[in-house]
């Protein structure tokens, strides 16, 4: 594998989002949605979380769902942002990264590319590009949340930056298998839209069946590890042992990319 | 001359349809090869296997000592695949310079080379246009331009002039002719007169099999055949031509066309033929040294 060519592919993906009119429209829409999320649910929830009157109720509720450590964060905005982002970004990633190679394959553009690069360089470069796009978007919202928090309490900026970086990294790692799943689905479907449909079917039907099999036959419970996002429950409450759970999405992404490479290597273009 | 492409016992099928069956041939460096055959003969399949888009079921393809898809061939083998399009969301220059960078050029050289190849196809003025803004013919020429980025040793052009207007088709033919010798070209087209003008070797595929492999298309060995196209051709003309010294056979291949077979003689046949035409005040349209590609493939 040639790293320079792989890097060129990933850089080109960035220009797809940040150097085209269509890309800027998508970034604008994304920013507006998160502006609304920050302005209303998060901004309004912070006084509620910090209120001494509701402290007991909030702690009790958070304890029930395993979010005890989060409610103790003085950076309440970041705590709420973390929970919302953890459950929305993976799904968002499916849509944002839905077209990695499929449209180029339909148009025949990959034929120009594979005369100049290895198929895996194309696959991995595009994957890496999508990771960088997600990294930029998660970073954008993390910074916005941090700014909102610092407007309320500027003394929290130092600790807030550390937490923001940790949130950014954990969210990004969580999204990896979702991006890799779309890399794979791009090779077995004929359009970005069909890739999304297949992903939705996977997370509704296949994941439900796997969960059911794991519940009924515990010997097959390991199959749950095949489902991207399986680790989310283990990291939501920011438990001290949760860092180990972050290895799972990395392994899942590697396995999905391996499967994608096998398919791409064998398939006709 | 060294062999740049060697294909041995190549076979490929799609379900029950045998697209290629036991195809063997060699292509020498610097030659310009015509790949001819009816629709569905396997031309595009053969192109796709050489480019590495398809895997053969059986057989071997050796390109400059490497297998298709080998990294050693990147930037040495380039192609205009049939129906392949550039991304309509980006400008021509952005995409071509990106391809050049993939071939190992730095950004500055890539932009300069993009400009160079666009000038070759007379499209430097559309460098900043998106491909969606270009006509079909322009898009085709841009795709030909991408095949010339860098210094390719082998260029495969699948139906390069199909869909181009006569002026631009001629410009592309002139471009290929000017690059002949430096680059080994493999051209697929249904325009036999175009291939005849450009190529020195013909591969004729029919039902997946290589039924003809000719490498002396332009009859560099003096003698043997003359193709004559006449106005108001009649039996009397044919009879008089048959009487000329050295003529062994005269065959009418079209309403206005004769193929004259002859053996070498003291007086060159083309001179005696022109003298006969002048003496009888006949009007000829064209005299071709040898047989046309069409006659070689479909009449013999």
| Residue B216: per-residue pLDDT | 61
Contact (CB<8Å) B55/A268: yes
User: What 3-state DSSP class applies to A191?
Assistant: coil
| Residue B64: per-residue pLDDT | 96
Contact (CB<8Å) A114/B53: yes
Cα end-to-end span (Å), chain B:
29
User: Once rounded to an integer, what is the mean pLDDT over residues A231-235?
Assistant: 90
Q: Note the Cα A45 to chain centre separation in Å.
A: 24
CA distances for B25 relative to B72, B220, B229, angstroms: 22, 21, 33
Q: Which residue has the higher pLDDT, A16 or A256?
A: A256
- Contact indicator for A133, A17 with CB cutoff of 8 Å: yes
Beta bridge partners of B203: B35, B213
Please write the tens of the pLDDT for every residue from B111-129.
999 999 999 999 999 999 9
Which residue, chain included where needed, has tokens 């631009």? Answer: B168
Pick from A5, A266, A268: CB nearest B53: A268
Contact (CB<8Å) A111/B98: no
Report CA torsion sign: A103, A105, A107, A112. positive
Q: Which residue has the higher pLDDT, B212 or A118?
A: A118
Q: How confident is the model at residue A238 (pLDDT cuts 50, 70, 90)?
A: confident
- Contact indicator for B121, B175 with CB cutoff of 8 Å: yes
Contacts of A22 in chain B (CB under 8 A): 89
| Residue B53: per-residue pLDDT | 96
| Residue B181: per-residue pLDDT | 85
Residue A148: half-sphere exposure toward Cβ, Cα within 13 Å: 27
Please write the tens of the pLDDT for every residue from B208-253.
998 776 666 665 555 588 999 999 999 999 999 999 988 999 999 9
Nearest to B258 by CA among B279, B236, B275: B236
User: What 3-state DSSP class applies to A108?
Assistant: coil
Instruction: Provide the number of CB pairs (under 8 Å) joining chain A to chain B.
Output: 66
User: Which residues of chain A have a Cβ shorter than 8 Å from any chain B Cβ?
Assistant: 2, 5, 8, 12, 15-16, 20, 22, 104, 107-109, 111-119, 266, 268-269
| Residue A198: per-residue pLDDT | 97
Residue of A nearest to B103 (CA): A116
Contact (CB<8Å) A12/B53: no
User: Once rounded to an integer, what is the mean pLDDT over residues B58-68?
Assistant: 96
What percentage of chain B reaches a pLDDT higher than 70?
95
Pick from A8, A111, A266: CB nearest B102: A8
Contact (CB<8Å) A268/B102: no
CA distance B165 to chain A (A): 23
CA distance A254 to chain B (A): 23
Please tell me the distance from the alpha carbon of residue B203 to that of residue B215, in angstroms, as a whole number: 9
Please write the tens of the pLDDT for every residue from A145-197.
999 999 999 999 999 999 999 999 999 999 999 999 999 999 999 999 999 99
| Residue A83: per-residue pLDDT | 93
Contact (CB<8Å) B81/A108: yes
Does pLDDT of A66 surpass 60? yes
ipTM of the complex as predicted: 0.89
Contact (CB<8Å) A20/B89: yes
| Residue B289: per-residue pLDDT | 85
Please tell me the distance from the alpha carbon of residue A229 to that of residue A249, in angstroms, as a whole number: 7
Residue B8: half-sphere exposure toward Cβ, Cα within 13 Å: 5
Contacts of A268 in chain B (CB under 8 A): 48, 53-55
Please tell me the distance from the alpha carbon of residue A99 to that of residue B253, in angstroms, as a whole number: 55
| Least confident window among A31-35, A212-216, B38-42, B146-150 | B38-42
Contact (CB<8Å) B77/A115: yes
What percentage of chain A reaches a pLDDT higher than 70?
96
Contact (CB<8Å) B85/A107: yes
Q: Phi/psi zone of residue B281: left (φ > 0), alpha (ψ -120 to 50 degrees), beta?
A: left
- Contact indicator for B4, B63 with CB cutoff of 8 Å: yes
Q: How confident is the model at residue B290 (pLDDT cuts 50, 70, 90)?
A: confident
Report CA torsion sign: B167, B168, B170, B175. positive
| Residue A21: per-residue pLDDT | 86
Interface test mutation site (partner A, options B13, B53, B102, max chain A beta carbons within 10 A): B102
Contacts of A12 in chain B (CB under 8 A): 98
CA distances for B78 relative to A7, B47, B184, angstroms: 22, 11, 11
| Residue B295: per-residue pLDDT | 80
């Amino acid at each position: 594998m040639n790293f320079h060519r792989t890097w060129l592919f990933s850089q080109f993906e960035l220009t797809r989002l940040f150097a085209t009119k269509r890309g800027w429209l998508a970034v604008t829409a994304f920013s507006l949605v998160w502006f609304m999320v920050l302005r209303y649910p998060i901004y309004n929830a912070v006084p509620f979380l910090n209120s001494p009157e509701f402290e007991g109720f909030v702690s009790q509720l958070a304890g029930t769902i395993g979010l005890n450590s989060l409610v103790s964060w003085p950076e309440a905005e970041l705590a709420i942002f973390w929970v919302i982002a953890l459950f929305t970004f993976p799904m968002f990633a499916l849509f944002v990264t839905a077209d990695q190679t499929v449209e180029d394959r339909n148009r025949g553009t990959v034929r120009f590319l594979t005369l100049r690069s290895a198929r895996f360089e194309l696959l991995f470069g595009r994957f890496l590009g999508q990771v960088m796009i997600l990294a930029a978007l998660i970073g954008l919202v993390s910074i916005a949340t941090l700014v909102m928090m610092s407007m309320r309490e500027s003394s929290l900026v130092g600790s807030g930056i550390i937490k923001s970086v940790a949130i950014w990294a954990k969210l990004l790692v969580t999204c990896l298998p979702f991006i890799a799943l779309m890399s794979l689905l791009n090779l077995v479907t004929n359009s970005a839209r069909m890739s999304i449909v297949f992903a939705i079917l996977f997370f509704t039907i296949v994941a439900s069946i796997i969960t059911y099999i794991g519940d009924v036959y515990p010997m097959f419970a390991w199959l749950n590890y095949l489902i991207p996002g399986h680790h989310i429950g283990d990291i939501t409450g920011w438990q001290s042992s949760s860092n180990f759970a972050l290895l799972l999405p990395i392994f899942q992404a590697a396995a999905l990319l391996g499967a994608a490479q096998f398919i791409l290597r064998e398939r006709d273009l | 001359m060294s062999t740049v492409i060697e294909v041995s016992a190549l076979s490929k099928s799609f379900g029950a349809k045998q697209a290629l069956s036991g195809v063997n041939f060699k292509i020498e460096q610097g030659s310009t090869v015509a790949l001819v055959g009816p629709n569905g003969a396997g031309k595009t399949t053969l192109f796709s296997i050489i480019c590495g888009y398809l895997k053969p079921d059986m057989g071997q393809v050796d390109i400059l000592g490497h297998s298709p898809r080998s990294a050693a061939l990147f930037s040495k083998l380039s192609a205009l695949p049939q129906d392949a399009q550039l991304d309509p969301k980006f400008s021509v220059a952005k995409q071509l310079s990106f391809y050049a960078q993939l071939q190992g050029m730095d950004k500055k050289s890539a932009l300069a080379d993009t400009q160079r190849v666009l000038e070759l196809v007379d499209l430097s003025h559309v460098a900043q246009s998106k491909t969606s803004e270009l006509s079909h013919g322009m898009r085709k020429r841009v795709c030909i331009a991408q095949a010339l980025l860098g210094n390719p040793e082998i260029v495969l052009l699948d139906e390069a002039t199909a869909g181009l207007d006569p002026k631009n088709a001629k410009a592309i033919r002139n471009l290929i002719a000017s690059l002949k010798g430096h680059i080994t070209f493999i051209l697929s087209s249904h325009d036999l007169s175009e291939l005849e003008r450009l190529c020195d070797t013909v591969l004729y595929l029919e039902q997946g099999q290589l039924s003809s492999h000719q490498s002396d298309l332009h009859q560099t060995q003096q003698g043997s055949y003359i193709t004559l196209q006449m106005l108001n051709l009649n039996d009397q003309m044919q009879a008089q031509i048959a009487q000329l010294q050295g003529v062994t056979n005269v065959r009418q291949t079209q309403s206005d066309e004769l193929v004259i077979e002859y053996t070498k003689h003291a007086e060159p046949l083309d001179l005696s033929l022109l003298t006969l035409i002048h003496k009888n005040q006949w009007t000829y349209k064209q005299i071709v040294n040898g047989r046309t590609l069409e006659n070689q493939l479909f009449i013999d």
